[in-house]
């Protein structure tokens, strides 16, 4: 319940920030062009807070799924003669184009700022070290093996799994056969070629690394006692750092095996052979019975030993100074925008699964998880969503900014506005298209929840 509440709050925060940025672009440029802005609303539906500043009413509305800027317009109501020149519909087509384009443009500007901020603070991620490789998989055929670490994709340096995945997808859509450089502490440097030409499978629902046959490196919890709580193990004389050699004569291979063995024996004596300071000691533990999820399991009050140095070696923080971060933030925004357009094109071509289209539930989950990870992850999520909103609004779909911009382009070319009849037909088509898109997004969200 608490986790769900966190997702909802993170979702509301993300939407509020992105919508504010988008609508502020429309509002700011409109005022600079001399158009009167009547209302600036964050959210849809009935307002629950409003305040008038000058001639503009600023509103927070009850449905956090969008927003709008209402400008003086003769098509929406009567306009006084002395204010006709400030009506949106009376502006030259160039000004109207600039006002409408400003919303998506500000989304991209915000993404640049967000990436700049994350580069300064530092982006933490997992080092792209391979854990296991499935036999006969794409990665296996490319001779990628356990403990290999990606260092570049098509000559572009990569430092985290996120960077690696994005570069692999981007280059796969570009050329199919992708070259990658990998480093191994034992065998050294090597360059491999991944066959990623099957974009339909690559862009289907699911984890990219799994499709390549790669499992990222994960910490292997050895059968070594770590922190001890007050309980059976501590009372029996077990110490932190004790390594379990065997359980009732059964060789101990992992902490998970140790946990399962003890949980299956509540109240039953378990004989442990322990290694401590190069000596072997014997202990008898009687796991305490504990009710968990309707079942009785054994507990001894111990946590596994964690090698912090080993874990730290697999964490990477990518950080730049404020000056170096400026061009990198522009490049990052450009790369993510281009990749998003490529993926949209693959959706149109039928090469990418429609299950990749997400709705509010998935966005809420993504926002909640990124917020839980930390500041940089949350701001990076904001940048990605802002870019997605910017691109979505630029699509030539009636009702969206892109649809209006398309009409203005026609007006510029032919020298007169598109007829009202065509605009009405376009609005109906736009409603149908958006309804279908939202319906698909909600269906995918519900399907993921059920899964």
Q: For the chain, give me the number of helices (H) and strands (E)?
A: 14, 18
Q: Which residues contact 13 (CB under 8 A, 6 or more apart)?
A: 367, 371
Distance CA 386, CA 113 (A): 11
Tell me phi and psi for residue 176, to 5 degrees.
Answer: 90, -60
Are 209 and 216 in contact by the 8 Å Cβ rule? The answer is yes
Q: Both ends of the chain: CA-CA distance in Å?
A: 19
Are 68 and 50 in contact by the 8 Å Cβ rule? The answer is no
Distance CA 54, CA 13 (A): 27
Q: What is the full DSSP assignment across 98-138?
A: HHHHHHHHHHHHHHHHHHHHHHHH-EEEE--BEEEE-TTSH
Which of 113, 109, 123, 17 has the alpha carbon at shortest distance from 376? 123
Are 385 and 378 in contact by the 8 Å Cβ rule? The answer is no
* Burial environment of residue 15 by CB neighbours within 10 A (0 to 12, 13 to 18, 19 or more): buried
| Residue 429 in tokens | 């088509």
- Token pair 């939202």 in the structure block, residue: 438
Q: At CA 346, angle to CA 333 and CA 155, rounded to 5?
A: 50
Are 386 and 104 in contact by the 8 Å Cβ rule? The answer is no
342-349 contact pairs (CB < 8 A, 24+): 342/170, 342/173, 343/169, 343/173, 343/203, 344/391, 346/173, 346/199, 346/203
Give the catalytic positions in this structure: 23
């Amino acid at each position: 319940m608490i986790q769900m509440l966190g997702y909802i709050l993170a979702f509301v925060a993300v939407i509020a920030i992105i919508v504010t940025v988008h609508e502020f672009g429309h509002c700011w440029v409109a005022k600079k062009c001399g158009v009167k802005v009547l209302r600036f609303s964050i959210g849809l539906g009935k307002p629950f807070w409003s305040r008038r500043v000058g001639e503009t009413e600023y509103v927070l509305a009850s449905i956090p799924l969008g927003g709008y800027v209402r400008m003086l317009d003769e098509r929406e109501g009567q306009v006084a003669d002395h204010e006709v020149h400030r009506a949106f519909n009376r502006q030259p087509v160039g000004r109207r184009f600039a006002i409408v384009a400003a919303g998506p443009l500000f989304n991209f500007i915000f993404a640049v700022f967000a990436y700049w901020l994350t580069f300064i603070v530092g982006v933490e991620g997992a080092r792209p070290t391979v854990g296991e490789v499935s036999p006969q998989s794409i990665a296996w055929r490319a001779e990628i093996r356990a403990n290999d670490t990606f260092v570049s994709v098509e000559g572009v340096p990569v430092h985290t799994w996120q960077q690696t995945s994005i570069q692999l997808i981007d280059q796969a859509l570009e050329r199919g056969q992708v070259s990658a450089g990998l480093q191994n502490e034992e065998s050294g440097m090597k360059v491999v070629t991944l066959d990623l030409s099957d974009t339909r499978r690559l862009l289907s629902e699911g984890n990219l690394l799994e499709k390549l046959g790669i499992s990222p490196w994960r910490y292997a919890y050895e059968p070594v006692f770590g922190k001890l709580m007050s309980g059976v193990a501590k009372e029996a004389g077990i110490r932190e750092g004790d390594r379990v050699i065997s359980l009732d004569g059964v060789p101990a291979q992992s902490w998970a095996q140790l946990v399962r063995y003890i949980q299956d024996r509540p109240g039953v004596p378990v004989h442990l052979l322990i290694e401590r300071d190069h000596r072997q000691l014997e202990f008898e533990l009687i796991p305490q019975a504990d009710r968990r999820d309707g079942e009785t399991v054994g507990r001894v009050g111990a946590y596994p030993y964690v090698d912090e140095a080993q874990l730290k070696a697999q964490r990477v923080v990518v950080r730049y100074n404020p000056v170096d971060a400026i061009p990198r933030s522009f490049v990052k925004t450009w790369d993510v925008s281009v990749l998003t357009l490529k993926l949209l094109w693959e959706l149109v071509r039928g090469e990418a699964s429609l299950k990749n289209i997400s709705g509010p539930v998935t966005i809420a989950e993504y926002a909640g998880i990124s917020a839980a990870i930390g500041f940089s992850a949350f701001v990076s999520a904001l940048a990605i969503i802002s870019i997605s909103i910017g691109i979505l609004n630029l699509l030539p779909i009636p009702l969206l900014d892109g649809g209006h911009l398309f009409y203005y382009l026609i007006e510029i070319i032919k020298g007169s506005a598109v007829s009202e009849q065509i605009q009405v037909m376009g609005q109906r088509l736009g409603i149908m298209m958006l309804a279908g898109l939202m319906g698909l997004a909600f269906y995918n969200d519900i399907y993921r929840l059920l899964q």
